Amino acid sequence: MIATLRGEITQVEENALVLEVGGVGLRVFTPKPLLTQFQPGEIVLLHTHLVVRENDLALYGFESASERQLFTTLLGADGVGPKMALSVLSTLDQESLQRAVFSEEPDLLSRVPGVGKKTAQKLMFYLKDRLKPISGLERIAALSDADGEVLAALTALGYSVIEAQTALQSLPKDAPQEVETRLRLALGYFR
């Protein structure tokens, strides 16, 4: 119904942006990484999805149409509502989610707040046929065992999956393959 919104950000809330569009302030729930990108006064274009409930209308906004599509795909999974779908997109970017699904790593999905092991398994099963590989996914899927351990260690230390993957991608090509060395180098990325 409402595909996009272009407006001025008047307020950044804990889990939403308030956009002034045509003199009306609209609260648009967005993934957390998007909230940190914008400041009040900026003009922004969001791809939106309207969720209509018996006593509630809620707008969810995304930076791209593909992210909105991923949100609607997540909504189709049994037991996944808009808040959980938004939580998934706040914790994992599209590549991380695809890596979790295609590499059959439910632990990545279970790190999302509100997603337990059973829900992670159901989500993986549901998304397996609905997600399409994107360019570069082969590189992501080919994550070595050492890098998988480094990723797990970084997320256990409190870094998000997105931050941990960024740190892994920053490692030099000729970096040693020992887990301890790779972890030390990855931690150096955050200094």
pLDDT, tens digit (0-9, with 9 covering 90-100), for 53-69: 889 899 999 999 999 99
In this structure, are 123 and 151 located in the same domain?
Answer: no
Is the pLDDT assigned to residue 143 strictly greater than 70?
Answer: no
Contacts of 109 (CB under 8 A, 6+ apart): 88, 92, 97, 100, 115, 119, 120, 123, 124
Indicate if the pLDDT at residue 129 is higher than 70: yes
* pLDDT value of position 144: 65
How many domains does one find in the chain? Answer: 3
Name beta bridge partners: 21.
24
Provide the residue type at 5 as one letter.
L
Q: Is residue 133 part of a domain?
A: no
| Confidence grade of residue 86 (pLDDT, cut at 50, 70, 90) | very high
Report the C-alpha gap between 49 and 51 in whole angstroms.
Answer: 6
Instruction: Please tell me whether the overall predicted TM-score, pTM, comes out greater than 0.95 for this model.
Output: no
Domain enclosing residue 118, as ranges:
66-128
The answer on 73 and 51 residing in a single domain is: no
Q: Which of 46, 62, 78 is the last residue of a domain?
A: 62
Residue 31 confidence class, pLDDT cut points 50, 70, 90: very high
Assess if residue 184 is contained within a domain.
yes
Same domain, 115 and 152: no
Tens digit of each residue's pLDDT (9 = 90 or more) over 146-174 = 777 888 888 888 887 778 878 887 888 78
Is the CB of residue 59 less than 8 Å from the CB of residue 3? no
- 24, containing H or E segment: strand 24-29
Q: Which two tokens stand for residue 164?
A: 């941990």
- Do the domain assignments include residue 137? no
For 41: left if phi > 0, alpha if psi spans -120 to 50, otherwise beta; the answer is left
